[in-house]
Amino acid sequence: MTHEGIPEEHAEAAKALREGAKGFEAIELSAARPYSMDDAAAALTEITGSPVKAQQFPLDAMVPTLTGFGFPADIAALYHEMTGAITRGHVAFEGGHRRVHGETDLATVLRGILGR
């Protein structure tokens, strides 16, 4: 743990956020490497001991699915917009900016979320 209670593996990203941008500057935060949905499914399979398979769903099903889970309609619509932009390649690192890579792997994050 760092002196502020931030796990050491999150220290670089936390430091970048605390420092903030200098003037008009973007800081691109990322994992140490890219992960796919299949990577997430494999990690969840390992963590839970139950088979997990990534499946693609129709984007138009997102809003009714999320609202069915209790999300407010406006938040579900924002997730729909964001997911559509990501899948169409409109959301990506621009490059040419300060880039900070995290050190925590996906399985560690998922274990923390699941309490395992």
> Mean pLDDT across the stretch 17-37?
81
HEC profile for the chain? CCCCCCCHHHHHHHHHHHHCCCCCCCEEEECCCCCCHHHHHHHHHHHHCCCCCCCCCCHHHHHHHHHHCCCCHHHHHHHHHHHHHHHCCCCCCCCCCEEEECCCCHHHHHHHHHCC
> Mean pLDDT across the stretch 46-72?
95
CATH for 8-114?
3.90.25.10
More confident call, 8 vs 48: 48
The predicted model scores a pTM of 0.68
* Chain centroid to CA 34: 10
Give the other-Cβ count within 10 Å of 44's Cβ. 20
> Mean pLDDT across the stretch 39-68?
96
Binned at pLDDT 50, 70 and 90, residue 103 comes out as: confident
Q: What is the pLDDT of residue 97?
A: 84
